[in-house]
Amino acid sequence: MHTQATRAFPKTLKPAMVGAKSLPQKYFVSPDVFADEQHKIFSKEWLLIGHQSQLPGAGEFFVVTVADESLIVVRDQQRQIRAFYNVCRHRGSRLKEEACGHTSAIQCPYHAWTYALDGRLMGAPHMDDAPGFDKADYSLPPVNLGLWEGFIFVNLGKNPEPLEKWFAPLSGKFSHWNVSILQPAKRIEYDVHANWKLMFENYSECYHCPGVHPQLQKISPYDSAENDLRDGPFLGGFMQINPGKSLTMSGNACAAFVGKIEKLQRVFYYSIFPNMLLSLHPEYIMVHQLWPQSPERTLIVCDWFFHPDAFLSEKFIPDDAIEFWDTTNRQDWHVCELSQQGIGSRAYRPGPFSSRESIPAAWDRYYLRVMR
């Protein structure tokens, strides 16, 4: 009986995948669903906000917006990276306006209340005669922060699962790429008029590649995908790179390898729920942060990282890789925007996934589990 039942499914389809369809319309257009996502996902999950290479020294900081909240991310005098809400405890003023910089203390521009880099209130003029006032009660509100492979994550929730536990299933998986010591070469930000989930679904299949990415298709065949993470918050696998080729405009390697990579003819693509896309090439890493702005709009921050030694070589041509992926990114965002437009129609009905779309189906399953 078991054999007979199983035979009804083609080999390339897992049972969970059978009959899977794209999500109902409300998940892409409803302000209520969007608010629910901001509450259940973006205010409770660990979110990628950057890489430790952005804050090399004590006193360096950057400002980042997470779920509509401005946060100050700073390396304190003990070289620990911390995050605080960018809000003065006196009358609520924004503290830091600059996107990044170096500072010895955090002073409010309104009434000059001054905080140490670890958040303690150090100075508050004319508050001594306020009865019952104690500086110790007015530290900057801290935000949970952790590092994984050199990437900085924050979590706006109360008492979240430790970051190490969350990432335990990926332990050691990326050690060959030396991710924690890599250095950024370029950042590009994209304002995409599409729901954030469409970009995850787009990233998770190459069924669209022949028509949408002609130059990628020449270097990496669309049907070469082999997935090793097929369920849960971490999804993906690798695709083949044609012999002697690289994912660059010229087709040649553009930098020294990031580590002792075993299989040089492979590019690895992983989605890390809920806001990270990690693309590992032999000579560089590309990382996307996805920041939902509204049901129909997403800010995407894309960084390219190389090995520190690569920057010293005369053969270092990072633009060869950056331009390749910038072109490919824009092709993807365009079809995501077309999807957003069509899904808003009264004629839209969830449509059937093909056998090449098992990872988008798995992403949707995990998403629905979190939203439950």
Closest distance of CB 224 from its own copies, Å: 14
Binding status of residue 65 toward its own copies by CB under 8 A:
no
Site string for its own copies, 72-101 (x = CB under 8 A): -------------xxxxxxxxxxx-x----
Q: Residue 138, interface with its own copies (CB under 8 A)?
A: yes
Binding of residue 26 to its own copies (CB under 8 A): no
> Which residues are within 8 A (CB) of 320 and not within 5 positions of it... i.e. 6 or more apart?
248, 249, 250, 252, 254
Least distance in angstroms from the C-beta of 303 to its own copies: 26
Residue 3 interacts with its own copies (CB under 8 A): yes or no: no
The region that residue 267 occupies, defined by phi over 0 for left and psi between -120 and 50 for alpha, beta otherwise, is beta
Q: Which of 3, 57, 129, 312 binds its own copies (CB under 8 A)?
A: 129
How many amino acids of this chain bind its own copies (CB under 8 A)? 63
Q: Dihedral, CA atoms, 333, 335, 337, 338, nearest 10 degrees? A: 170
262 binds its own copies (CB under 8 A): no
Q: Provide the 3-class DSSP secondary structure of residue 369.
A: helix
- Binds its own copies by CB under 8 A, chosen from 31, 141, 169, 232: 141
Q: Is 311 a binder of its own copies (CB under 8 A)? A: no
**Residue 18 is a binding residue for its own copies (CB under 8 A):** yes
Q: Is 330 in the site for its own copies (CB under 8 A)?
A: no
* Residues between 335 and 364 with contacts to its own copies, criterion CB under 8 A: 335, 338-339, 341-349, 351-356
> What is the footprint of its own copies within residues 107-126 (CB under 8 A)?
109-112, 124-126
Query: Peptide bond before 31: cis, by omega within 30 degrees of 0?
Result: no
What per-residue string of b and e applies to 207-238 under the rule 16 or more CB within 10 Å gives b? bbbeebbeebeebbbbeebebebbeebbbbeb
- Are the beta carbons of 277 and 290 closer than 8 angstroms? yes
Indicate which single residue of 57, 132, 172, 243 sits in contact with its own copies (rule: CB under 8 A).
Answer: 132
**Cα radius of gyration rounded to whole Å, the chain:** 23
Pick from 89, 52, 47, 50: nearest CA to 68: 47
Shortest gap between Cβ of 1 and its own copies (angstroms)?
18
Residues 88, 101, 187, 363: what is their CA dihedral angle, to the nearest 10 degrees? -30
**Stretch 203-242: interaction string toward its own copies, x if CB under 8 A:** ----xx-xxx------------------------------
> Looking at this protein, which amino acid is placed at residue 264?
L
Query: HSE-up of 178 (CA within 13 Å, CB side)?
Result: 18
- Cα angle at 349 between 344 and 352, to 5 degrees? 125
- 69 near its own copies (CB under 8 A): yes
From residue 151 to residue 190, the character string flagging contacts with its own copies as x (rule: CB under 8 A) and all else as - is: -----x----------------------------------
Contact 302, 187 (CB under 8 A): yes
Shortest distance, position 177 Cβ to its own copies, whole Å:
31
**CB nearer to its own copies: pick between 23 and 256:** 23
- Name 51's Cβ contacts closer than 8 Å, sequence gap at least 6: 150, 151, 152, 182, 184, 287, 303, 305
Please report, in angstroms and rounded to a whole number, the separation of the first and last CA atoms in the chain. Answer: 34
Let me know: does 245 contact 219? Beta carbons within 8 Å.
yes
Interface with its own copies, residue 133, by CB under 8 A: yes
Q: Are 336 and 202 in contact (CB under 8 A)?
A: yes
Beta carbon of residue 111, minimum distance to its own copies (angstroms, whole number): 5
CB of 123 vs its own copies, minimal distance in Å: 12
Positions in the binding site for its own copies (CB under 8 A)? 8-10, 12-13, 18-19, 22, 68-70, 85-95, 97, 109-112, 124-127, 129-133, 138, 141, 156, 201, 207-208, 210-212, 335, 338-339, 341-349, 351-356
